[in-house]
């Protein structure tokens, strides 16, 4: 990975990493105005997958209204080209369960399946006839409205948090990023769990409220925004970030 490399020759190892000139950008945020360094920033897009967002997906099939996820999909779709043009890494963090579910404990299998009726994570319960959120399945695929570039990075996760039992932290360390922008669904569940772990690991965290959504009641969103600002980091909007990037060249 070019961001984290040595220069080697047969008789010399130069341990200096490539220099990355700072690219500061100041944006409106809460609880206060925020300056971040685009050279040390990555976007984490969480769970914008068919089983969560598509009308034929798992959640819709068990009676959950998935229409609120549309705003997150739209916000991310409009923001991706801006970040790619600025060479900000895009990291997709999505459920991608093993077919045998061997690493999923009962507490995870219980999610949305409180009666043990085999309608939860990993169950064959979608209209696509694939196991719920199973790796390489239609249900686990990113929704069609979003494009994944060859330069993007994909991380399969198996818990609410994208950091547990995954390579996410190692990937981010190799990218040499300090600040993580968060988008996706559900903001009060997997997005928040991943954001909290990131903050606990020492990353700076920024929740993009217009690129994140939830199918939970509105008070769950309100509580999430409050807790992010109060305990973990900052909230901002993708639109404000895009506007600021348009006004100031990332190379400056």
Residue 129: predicted pLDDT: 58
Decide if pLDDT at 132 tops 90: yes
Number of domains the chain is built from: 1
Other CB atoms within a 10 A radius of the CB of residue 8 amount to 10
Q: Are 74 and 50 in contact (CB under 8 A)?
A: no
Predicted confidence band of residue 117 (pLDDT cuts 50, 70, 90): confident
Instruction: Give the model confidence (pLDDT) of 46-99 as tens digits.
Output: 999 999 999 999 999 889 999 999 999 999 999 999 999 999 999 999 999 999
**Model pTM above 0.85:** yes
The tokens for 13 are: 């190892």
Q: What is the CATH number of the domain that holds 92?
A: 3.40.50.850
Q: What are phi and psi of 182, to 5 degrees?
A: -115, 135
| Per-residue pLDDT tens over the stretch 154-204 | 999 999 999 999 999 999 999 999 999 999 999 999 999 999 999 999 999
Domain presence at residue 223: yes
Backbone torsions φ then ψ of 89, nearest 5 degrees: -60, 140
Domain span holding position 102: 39-246
Domain assignment present for residue 215? The answer is yes
- Using a pLDDT cut of 90, give the percent of the chain over it: 87
Given this model, what pLDDT does residue 252 score?
Answer: 43
Within-domain flag for 108: yes
Residue 33 tokens read as 């105005």
């Amino acid at each position: 990975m070019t961001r984290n490399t040595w220069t080697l020759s047969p008789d010399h190892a130069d341990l200096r990493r490539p220099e990355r000139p700072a690219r500061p950008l100041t944006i409106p945020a809460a609880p206060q105005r925020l300056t971040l360094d685009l050279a040390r920033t990555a976007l984490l897009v969480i769970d914008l997958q068919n089983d969560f967002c598509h009308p034929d997906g798992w959640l819709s099939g068990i009676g959950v209204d998935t229409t609120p996820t549309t705003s997150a999909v739209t916000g991310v779709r409009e923001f991706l080209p801006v970040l790619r043009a600025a060479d900000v890494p895009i990291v997709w963090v999505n459920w991608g369960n093993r077919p045998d579910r061997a690493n999923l404990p009962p507490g995870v299998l219980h999610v949305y399946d409180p009666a043990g009726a085999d309608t939860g994570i990993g169950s064959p319960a979608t209209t696509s006839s694939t196991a719920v959120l199973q790796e390489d399945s239609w249900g686990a695929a990113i929704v069609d409205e979003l494009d994944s570039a060859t330069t993007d990075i994909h991380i399969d996760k198996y818990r609410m948090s994208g950091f547990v039992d995954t390579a996410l932290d190692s990937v981010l360390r190799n990218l040499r990023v300090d600040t993580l922008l968060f988008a996706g669904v559900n903001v009060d569940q997997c997005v928040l769990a991943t954001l909290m772990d990131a903050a606990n690991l020492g990353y700076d965290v920024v929740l993009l409220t217009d690129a994140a959504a939830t199918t939970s009641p509105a008070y769950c969103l309100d509580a999430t925004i409050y807790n992010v600002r109060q305990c973990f980091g900052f909230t901002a909007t993708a639109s404000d970030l895009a506007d600021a990037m348009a006004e100031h060249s990332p190379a400056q």
